[in-house]
Amino acid sequence: MTNRRIDLLATLCVLSLSPSLSTGCQCSSSEAPLPHTAAAPTPPAEPEPPVEVAEAATDDTAYGRELAEQNAQLEGLDRLATRYANDWGRLERLSHAYEQRAGLTGNYDDYVRAQETLDRAFDGAPEGAGPFLSRAHLHYTLHRLAAASADLDAADGAQLMTPATRNSISGLRGDIAFHRGDFEEAERRHRATDEAQPSGGSAFRIAYDLWQAARFDEAERWLGVAESRTPATDHRTRAWMSLQMGLMDLSRGRYEEALAHYQEADRRFDGWWLVHEHIAEVEVLLGHLDEAERRYRDVVERTNNPELIDALADLLEQRGHADEAATFRARADARFEEQLEQLPEAAYGHALEHFLEHGTPERALELAEANYRMRPGGEATVRLAQALLRSDRAADARARLEPLLATRYRTAELHATMARAARATGDEALAAEHEGLATAIDPHALD
């Protein structure tokens, strides 16, 4: 079973939309996956009456209460946007609210609503004006790097530009650079934005750069800085920080430590499906299969997320329940296809893991190439190499990985994939070298 990361469309988007981690004012609101940390727009002065909306929370957990608050706020913003239909700023705030709820629930429908609302905002804005920074962030979250860059260029051309907004633009340019594979430029921009305006978000960006370069001690220190800059009252973001510490442990094969961080995240912000699915993942790795199955069934019921449906199918196969596993696998396949139809750029990377393991080599390669065209960074390059290996194109896989290995990007999965490519091309010495590098990062990398 591969380690699944519900990244830009749920995990990293949390930090990007957290007011306590803001780095400046913007006209607007992602894997990815790196966070955008400009502040949310100032809410309107008018009251926002709570009314029933879709996805209403029914539990009294911290997650349920926050979702209920977001539902109420969103409905109020929707009413105000309807009342003041010519005010594109209100539409921008409504779009931000949809994106914020999507970051909590992982529901693609809200990303579509956010996009449609921004389209309406631009329709009502004067020519050359509009919420360019908001749209850049949404494009980035949905993995549309070229479109995000174009909107940042437009936002950067504004006549009135505060230092905080300029810093937010530079930080997002750093995020885009990372997912394009320009890791030095990403870290340069992220450090510059932190020096100009320190925040939890800017510290996390640096931590993530270091983490993906296997500089774990430095990354842990910067995660600590990010958490220290987060108010004690922001329980969701502090839970998210604990989740990231656990994910870093997981990437190093430290399962017990990862579980401890995930459990801390659940104490800080209880009821969050995102934390529960990560607990389930590491419970599988620790052999706690009954508890893992219970948790996976719960999060699948709550979210209908195809990655989690896939994980449950994996676990059921492992436990010898082949017929039920096949039912869930077919359900995951259908859900991935729905997401690819709804938001293809955002879904490529997530669906790719499913089709690499359970689809045809042709379909896996098709998605891997599409994903790579959108964001040719480290993770997408490794996934493309894996798809090439499935298509018996080991030399092409190796040729894709060699330039990546010349950068600072370093993960156990990169080295393990290079080891497979080297062995498939008859280079046993290189294969052994990269197997050693992979297990130095994660002792379980070759399992």
Transcribe 332-365 into DSSP letters: HHHHHHHHHHHSHHHHHHHHHHHHHHHS-HHHHH
Distances (CA, A) of 247 to 4, 6, 361: 10, 11, 29
Estimate the crossing angle of helix 108-124 against helix 322-342, to 10 degrees: 0
How many CB atoms are located within 10 Å of the residue 173 CB?
A: 22
pTM tops 0.85, yes or no: yes
Q: How far apart are CA 11 and CA 8, in angstroms?
A: 6
Residue ranges of domains in the chain: 1-230
The 8-class DSSP code of residue 290 comes to H
First to last CA, the chain: 10
For residue 11 the two structure tokens come to: 């995990």
- Range 1-230: architecture per CATH: Alpha Horseshoe (1.25)
pLDDT in tens, the chain (447 residues): 445 544 434 344 444 445 444 333 222 222 333 333 333 333 333 333 333 333 444 579 999 999 999 999 999 999 999 999 889 999 999 999 999 999 999 999 999 999 999 999 999 999 889 999 999 999 999 999 999 999 999 999 877 789 999 999 999 999 999 999 999 999 999 999 999 999 999 999 999 999 999 999 999 999 999 999 999 999 999 999 999 999 999 999 999 999 999 999 999 999 999 999 999 999 999 999 999 999 999 999 999 999 999 999 999 999 999 999 999 999 999 999 999 999 999 999 999 999 999 999 999 999 999 999 999 999 999 999 999 999 999 999 999 999 999 999 999 999 999 999 999 999 999 999 999 999 999 999 998
Q: Is the dihedral of CA 357, 359, 362, 368 positive or negative?
A: negative
Is the CB of residue 266 less than 8 Å from the CB of residue 239?
Answer: yes
